[in-house]
DNA sequence: CTCGCCCACTCGTCTAGATACCTAAAGGAG
DNA sequence: CTCCTTTAGGTATCTAGACGAGTGGGCGAG
């Protein structure tokens, strides 16, 4: 219960219209922005702040809850509240599905993570046939049932992405694509071997807060949104041959695209 | 203080490990997902839920606070808590900067919004020379000062996007680009007229929770992330001629890109 | 020295109020 | 009829305290 170092945080302004817990949140936010507290560093405990500001504990907790919602800090039960470190991000370039990257033998995720010096893992593999949702059916051109390939990607043990690929049964059934491990180069390599020469991809990107299930699967901290990416692969005949639905921890990714100016 | 319609919400499970306020949040979330409460509809008041579940008010508020963080509901002081309606989204296609779209005379934003039947506005215009931040300087190739063009875009009165364009002074100073209204086709049209023939754009996309300033500028509800897009325009000589830093309300946008498979 | 236990510290959850302020509708004064 | 006041029903903020439970260090037993 050592008192706060004086000067670290200021006083409240009783004349202000701003609610006390917001003022406290503002002070902490500013201290973090100014680098007074570094990444991973422990903030003053709730009890410290109760003493320093002379408010009740709920008020302090309200302040912390604001900062958590902003993704600035995270609380650890029994330890304290910490400045949330910015994890290393994974950059996705727009040429990541270029044919030349498929010749290697490993999946794009593994190759890329190895190059970045991280330790990649893939788990939660599930491959099965199922009924297509309305949305997937529309994107694939009115198919009823699809082959679904689900998997989760981890970097250095941290889950960062959860993806499901959907393929029409007439394309995928009975091929290596329906196997848990589709072989070198991934399913895009298999699709081309099967005569579905890929022409282009379309990607749709949204960002939103995660559902409770996504929080669990991706071990998301409070205040971390997800990037929801839906990619459709088209063959040279203009047919949609695959839809991949991906949910990514937003703090782990930067997406990068090149657009022609023509 | 009319009692809740029975059957709308269930009971608590006292044997569950799950905290009471989470159980309440779960029930409300499920009721919303199942369509028991529609978009814009008012949820039971805090007092109703206090009575129904036999808990204290703080517990109910905690439950609401979870749902707010998920972007599912929003509270209106003195009115109630409402299911947050999903606003119409603006789709950004990857060909939105194609040269053919520039010949029209109006800015891309206006044309597109008119086509979608919304009422577009642009405000908060500011054009001035300033010192380049480290990041902007790097992207533009070590320039010290830049012309900054700031503006905010609104759809039907709702702010959806806040953007700043940065251009090297040797390109922009003294040209229509330095005017508040750069003329038909926007600054990309002017750049081409000035001999900077555009070759391609690079876009970097991140998603995160907004800063307090962004919440204010974009009138963001709780639980709405922002999409942060940084676009760099390159001329045919490979020089970066503009960087545009855009912050978008994530619930108002779907980004769409086409990637070649080659 | 090592292991296990205890205790201090810390956040998590919940209660039971009090006061403030906002909104909307009803009702009364003009 | 119009406008203002009242009032009921909402959320916003804050207090004071209780108990639960995870963490980690210190200390004593072996």
Classify domain B90-255 by CATH number.
3.40.1410.10
Q: In this structure, how many other beta carbons lie within 10 angstroms of the beta carbon of residue A107?
A: 24
- The percentage of chain B sitting over the pLDDT mark of 90, rounded to a whole number, equals 73
Interchain CB contact of A78 with B (< 8 Å): no
- The percentage of chain A sitting over the pLDDT mark of 90, rounded to a whole number, equals 73
Report whether pLDDT(A2) > 60. Answer: no
Report whether pLDDT(B180) > 90. Answer: no
Give the separation between CA A48 and CA B78, rounded to whole angstroms.
Answer: 34
pLDDT at B59: 97
**Continuous segment of H or E residues that includes residue A27:** helix A20-33
Query: Residue B19: its chain A contacts at CB < 8 A?
Result: none
Interchain CB contact of B226 with A (< 8 Å): yes
Backbone angles phi, psi at B234, to 5 degrees: -115, 140
Chains A, B: CB contacts under 8 A, how many?
Answer: 133
pLDDT band at A56 (very low <50, low <70, confident <90, very high): very high
pLDDT at A104: 61
pLDDT in tens, B131-175: 999 999 999 998 999 999 999 999 988 999 999 999 999 999 999
Interchain CB contact of B187 with A (< 8 Å): no
Classify domain A20-83 by CATH number.
1.10.10.10
Query: Residue B254: its chain A contacts at CB < 8 A?
Result: 204-206
* Burial letters A190-225, b for 16+ CB under 10 A, else e: bbbeeebebbbbbbbbbbbbbeeebbebbebbbbbb
End-to-end CA separation in angstroms for chain A: 65
Give residue A255's region: left, alpha or beta (phi > 0; psi -120 to 50). beta
Interchain CB contact of A257 with B (< 8 Å): yes
pLDDT at A3: 61
pLDDT in tens, B105-114: 667 788 778 8
Report whether pLDDT(B97) > 90. Answer: no
Interchain CB contact of A222 with B (< 8 Å): yes
Which chain C positions come under 7 Å from a protein C-beta? 9-18, 21-24
Domain spans of chain B? 20-83, 90-255
- A58 CA – D16 C1', rounded, Å: 10
pLDDT in tens, A122-135: 987 899 999 999 99
pLDDT at A116: 80
Considering only residues A3 and A54, tell me which one the structure prediction assigns the higher pLDDT.
A54
Query: Residue A251: its chain B contacts at CB < 8 A?
Result: 208
Cross-chain residue pair B200–A250, CB shorter than 8 Å: no
Chain A nearest-CA distance from B156, in A, is 21
Report whether pLDDT(A179) > 70. Answer: yes
Between A71, A97, A227, which is nearest B259 by CB? A97
Report whether pLDDT(A162) > 90. Answer: yes
Report whether pLDDT(A170) > 60. Answer: yes
- Tokens read off for B92: 């950004």
- A78 CA – D24 C1', rounded, Å: 9
The CA-CA-CA angle for residues A236, A237, A239, to 5°, reads 105
Considering only residues A1 and A232, tell me which one the structure prediction assigns the higher pLDDT.
A232
For tokens 């054009």, what's the residue? B127
Residue among A148, A105, A111 nearest A128 (CA) = A148
A77-86, A179-188, B51-60, B99-108: which range is least confident on average?
B99-108
Query: Residue B86: its chain A contacts at CB < 8 A?
Result: none
pLDDT at A124: 72
The CA-CA-CA angle for residues B19, A87, A161, to 5°, reads 70
pLDDT at A1: 47
pLDDT in tens, B4-16: 666 678 888 888 8
Give the separation between CA A67 and CA B207, rounded to whole angstroms.
Answer: 17
pLDDT band at B118 (very low <50, low <70, confident <90, very high): confident
pLDDT in tens, A67-98: 999 999 999 999 999 999 998 888 898 888 87
Cross-chain residue pair B206–A250, CB shorter than 8 Å: yes
- What average pLDDT score do residues A167-175 get? 94
Give the separation between CA A177 and CA A171, rounded to whole angstroms.
Answer: 9
pLDDT at B1: 45
Give the separation between CA B248 and CA B225, rounded to whole angstroms.
Answer: 9
- Tokens read off for A220: 């998301």
The radius of gyration of chain B from alpha carbons, rounded to an integer in Å, stands at 24
pLDDT at B114: 80
Interchain CB contact of B119 with A (< 8 Å): no
DSSP string of A93-151?
-TTTT-HHHHTTSS-HHHHHHHHTT--EEEEEEEEEEEEPPHHHHHHHTS-SEEEEEEE
Q: For all residues of chain A together, what is the average pLDDT?
A: 92
Which chain D positions come under 7 Å from a protein C-beta? 9-18, 20-24
pLDDT in tens, A210-246: 999 999 999 999 999 999 999 999 999 999 999 999 9
Give the separation between CA A27 and CA A11, rounded to whole angstroms.
Answer: 9
pLDDT band at A6 (very low <50, low <70, confident <90, very high): low
């Amino acid at each position: 219960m050592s008192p706060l170092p004086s000067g670290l945080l200021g006083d409240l302004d009783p004349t202000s219209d701003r609610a006390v817990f917001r003022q406290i949140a503002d002070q902490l936010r500013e201290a973090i922005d100014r680098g007074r507290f570094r990444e991973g560093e422990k903030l003053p405990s709730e009890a410290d702040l109760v003493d320093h500001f002379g408010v009740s504990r709920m008020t302090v907790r309200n302040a912390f809850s604001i900062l958590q919602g902003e993704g600035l800090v995270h609380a650890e039960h029994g330890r304290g509240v910490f400045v949330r470190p910015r994890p290393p991000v994974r950059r996705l370039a727009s040429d990541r599905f270029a044919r030349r990257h498929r010749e290697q033998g490993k999946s794009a995720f593994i190759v890329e993570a190895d190059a970045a010096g991280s330790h990649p893992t893939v788990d939660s593999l599930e491959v099965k046939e199922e009924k297509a949702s309305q949305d997937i059916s529309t994107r694939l051109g009115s198919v009823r049932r699809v082959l679904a390939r689900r998997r989760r990607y981890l970097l250095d043990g941290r889950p960062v992405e959860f993806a499901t690929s959907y393929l029409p049964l007439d394309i995928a059934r009975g091929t290596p694509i329906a196997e848990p491990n589709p072989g070198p180069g991934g399913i895009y390599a298999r699709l081309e071997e099967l005569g579905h020469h890929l022409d282009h991809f379309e990607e749709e990107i949204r960002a939103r807060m995660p559902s409770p299930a996504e929080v669990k699967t991706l071990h998301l901290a409070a205040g971390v949104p997800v990037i929801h990416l839906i990619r459709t692969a088209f063959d040279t005949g203009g047919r949609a041959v695959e839809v991949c639905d991906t949910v990514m921890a937003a703090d782990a990714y930067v997406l990068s695209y090149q657009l022609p100016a023509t």
